[in-house]
Amino acid sequence: MIKFTDDFLTGIDLIDNEHRQLISMLNEINDRMLDGADVRTEGMKLLNGLRDYAARHFADEESYMESISDPELAGQKKAHRAFVDRIEHMNFIGMNDETMTTAVLDLLDYMSRWLMHHILGSDTLIGKTVSPFAFTDKYKTGIELIDSEHQKLFDIMARVDALIHNDELYDRFDQIVGLINELNDYTHFHFNDEEKLMEEYHYSGLEAQKKAHRIFYDELDRIDLDQVDDDQEAYLEDLLKYLMNWLSGHILGMDKKIHDER
C-alpha cells in the first residue's frame, strides 16, 4: 500500500493526476488480492494497467519535460525504459494459482517501491533543475549587444545538447555537423563584435581577450567530424561540456570586466 501524500506532488496537475491514478490502481488490486479475489483476473488487470500507464503517462511526462527543456529528461527516459522492460515480456502463462498469486504480489510490491522511489527521487524534481545551458542573470555583462550574442551561443549549445540526447533520431550526423558549423560561424561573428567594442572603449584587457578567443577558435577547429560519426554521443558530450565550461568561465572571468572600462 502506498499513500499518496503531498510529498509526491510535482506541482504539475497532469502528472500528479496520473501518478494518483496509478497508485490507486495498485492499491485497489492489492486490496482485492488480500480479499481473495480471482488471481487471474487481478493479474491481467495489473499487467494491462501497467502497460497502459507506461505508454500514456511516460509519454505525457517526457513531452512536458521536453517542452520546458528539463535537463533531467535523458535520465528520466532511461528510468522509464527500465520500468517498461520489467513488464514488457512478463506473463503468467503456465502458472498455477499459487505461483501466480506469488508472482502478482511480487510484481505489485516491486512496482509500488519503484514508483515511490521514482516519484520522490526524480519526478518531484521536474521543472526545478536549472539547465546548464540557461542564460541566467549571473552571465550578464551589462552590455546589451554582448549579452544577446552570448545568449545566442548558449542557445546553439542547448540545441546541440538536445540533439545528442534525442534517441528518436537514429542518425543525427548531418544535423550535428550543421549545428557545429553554426556554432563556429556565430562564435567568429560574436568575438569580432566583442573585440570591436573593446577597441572602441580602449579596453586595457583587449590583447588578453584576443588571445583567449584564439584558444577557443583553435578548439573549434580541432573538432574531428570523423569522430562524430563513430561514437556520436560520448564524443559530443565531452566536447559540449568542454565548450560550455570554457564559454561560461570566459564570460564570468573576462567578459564581465569589459563593462568597468566603458
Indicate left, alpha or beta for 11 from its phi (over 0: left) and psi (-120 to 50: alpha). Answer: left
Comparison of 76 and 248: residue with beta carbon closer to Fe ion: 76
Candidates 15-23, 128-136, 158-166, 205-213: pick the segment binding Fe ion (CB under 5 A). 205-213
Helix, strand, or coil (residue 36)? coil
Comparison of 42 and 255: residue with beta carbon closer to Fe ion: 255
Shortest Cβ 254–Fe ion spacing (Å):
6
Cα–Cα distance for residue pair 132/139, rounded to 1 Å: 12
**Residue whose entry in the numeric block shows the C-alpha cell 565548450:** 243
Cα–Cα distance for residue pair 194/203, rounded to 1 Å: 11
How many residues bind Fe ion (CB under 5 A)? The answer is: 6
Cα–Cα distance for residue pair 201/252, rounded to 1 Å: 19
Between residue 131 and residue 190, which ones bind Fe ion under the rule CB under 5 A? none
Of 123, 135, 156, 239, which lies in the binding site for Fe ion, with binding defined by CB under 5 A? 123
Comparison of 34 and 84: residue with beta carbon closer to Fe ion: 84
Shortest Cβ 19–Fe ion spacing (Å):
9
Residue 79: partners with Cβ closer than 8 Å, 6 or more residues away: 118, 122
Shortest Cβ 241–Fe ion spacing (Å):
19
Comparison of 161 and 194: residue with beta carbon closer to Fe ion: 194
Q: Which long-range contacts (CB under 8 A, 24 or more apart) does 164-172 make?
A: 164/232, 164/233, 164/236, 164/237, 164/240, 165/73, 165/74, 167/77, 172/232
70 near Fe ion, judged by CB under 5 A = no
Candidates 67-75, 108-116, 123-131, 222-230: pick the segment binding Fe ion (CB under 5 A). 123-131
The contact set with Fe ion (CB under 5 A) reads: 61, 76, 123, 194, 209, 255
